[in-house]
Structure 1
Amino acid sequence: MTPEERRTAEILRTIARDERIKEAVRTSPLLYPLLLTAAKRYVTGETRADAIKIAQRLEKMGYHLSMEHIGENTLDSQIVHEAQREFLALTADCSQLHTPVGISFDLSHLGLLLDKGLAFSHVEELAERARHSGHYLMISMEESTKTEAIISMYERLAQRHENVGITIQAHLHRSLDDVKRVLRLPGKIRLVKGAFKEPQEIALGRSVELNERYLELADMCVRAGRECSLATHDQAIVDELDGRDYLHRPNVEVELLYGVRPELAHALREKGVPVRLYLTYGTEWYLYLCHRLAEHPPHVHQAIADMFDTARLQDVGYGMS
């Protein structure tokens, strides 16, 4: 990134967490529909039906899928229970698909910040439902202040449910030790760089050093024979993983966010690499949009164009119309 792009990314990550701006967007009859249009490049829609419709089309094209009802940091018990019911319904609706789906979620969406016991019981119920339908759960990673609580809960869950996986953020300095911890357990590991703004004493910034850290952690997971999802849009990392002959190993897949680098997804699929696309839906899309734009600030121009020319969204690059 250029210095200007880094500054833009920093601003986007800051406003993503500004509740005043989020509320202003949510209640504005002008801003809400405009920004929702921009978000639809990365979010399948606001309803489960929107997500399932796109999922069915992508599955027919040969992609594997992860799906998430967006939400996090929920402090209202009613909303937590509503989220649980939505995830149960999503798990049931995934029976319309023919390959195993990764049901992804933030633990803070299911009650982690209210009652850890409640969150644990919610995930246990989801794990059982998913097991019966042939799907699996993938716990997402959140800000570093929650990392220990998330890893600890995963350790408890994975001892009881083999279809529960965990996400590791390579940028955190602690992640080398965290990978060693989770490699003792049976679930899938999803490796990401990390999207959250963190202080330098806790995490690496985007850099060559971070790429090297990501490859080191990927090497640990792949060589351990663990089922792993290498989630990255970074061409340099993808090329290095390919050069190490990791992408055709039976325990490895590449995971990409819906709407981000669809041309890479297509190219990898054409080469016979298993590609999983991460589909999101729901009304809590504001933070998600900010993070996608922060990862590649030039996409701000694309977002503005999308707002005023919705025809641009009819085909996000997967051959869909």
Structure 2
Amino acid sequence: MAHNIRLRVFKFVMQNGGGYLSQACSSAELFATLYTKIMHLGPSTAPLIPVPYAGAPSPANPNYQTGGGYNGPHEPQYDRFIFSPSHYALVHYATLIEVGRMSEVGLAQFNQDGSTVEMIGAEHSPGGEVTSGSLGQAISQAGGIAMARQRKGEKGRVWVLMTDGEFQEGQVWEAVQALSHYRLDNIGVYIDVNAQQCDGAVESVMTTEPLAQKLTAFGARTIEVDGHDVTALAAPAKLAPNGQPLFVLSHSDPCRGIPKLAERKPALHYLRFKTDQERQEYQDLFEEMQHKAQNHC
């Protein structure tokens, strides 16, 4: 499934003349594991083909819905998924397609005017539920949901996907502190630690290390895993709650599956072709990967 997720993202990066490709390389296994081995979600309540954007919520727009319906109904027994790095949206859409919650036909709307299938996902985009375009905010919103669920005695958990670069934001640490203080062990936070951000390598912009030790010092239950090992990724979610919020550091490779990307280090955040020759090289690589995938099937 992870390979198919990367391939779908790669396809649309080529069609659009660029895009967030390294994010698919680093997080494909993480998305696949969350949706197939970790989260207990109810059936989707959203249309397979996403509907156009109908406007912001208001009295004049009473039927407004978030994209959370793709993750199932908000019922006590089901888990909730809060997606933080909204520039990973295409990876998220590809995952929803792979697990049958969204039609691949819907991707034809990707990055089109009036579409909810946006390049930078929002709360109305498929799989989205909160506004998280300003990185570092979603964990606070997820914490509020987790606290409410705990106080209501709901069995469902809250899962968050975020990135290591977000830990440069002070709000994130305030949220971790609050999660620990209120002993919210019904929340699990998976972090794509790919060591990359918009302006280059995380350590060159503002290091977040030693991230595991910092989280532990803030009272979190912290576990480090190989971000491309599905079994290792799934294991922490099976641990019995112990009164601490769970943080899983998923150490990943932003060039996984597409090693040619390494030629662009440290500028991996957004793939923009510099020459026609470079574009053709990536097109040839995509077609080779697609051919191998078809033969494998």
Under a length normalisation based on structure 1, what TM-score does the superposition of the two structures give? 0.37
The structure carrying a bigger helix percent of its residues is 1
Relative contact order, CA 8 A, sep 6+: which one is greater?
Answer: 1
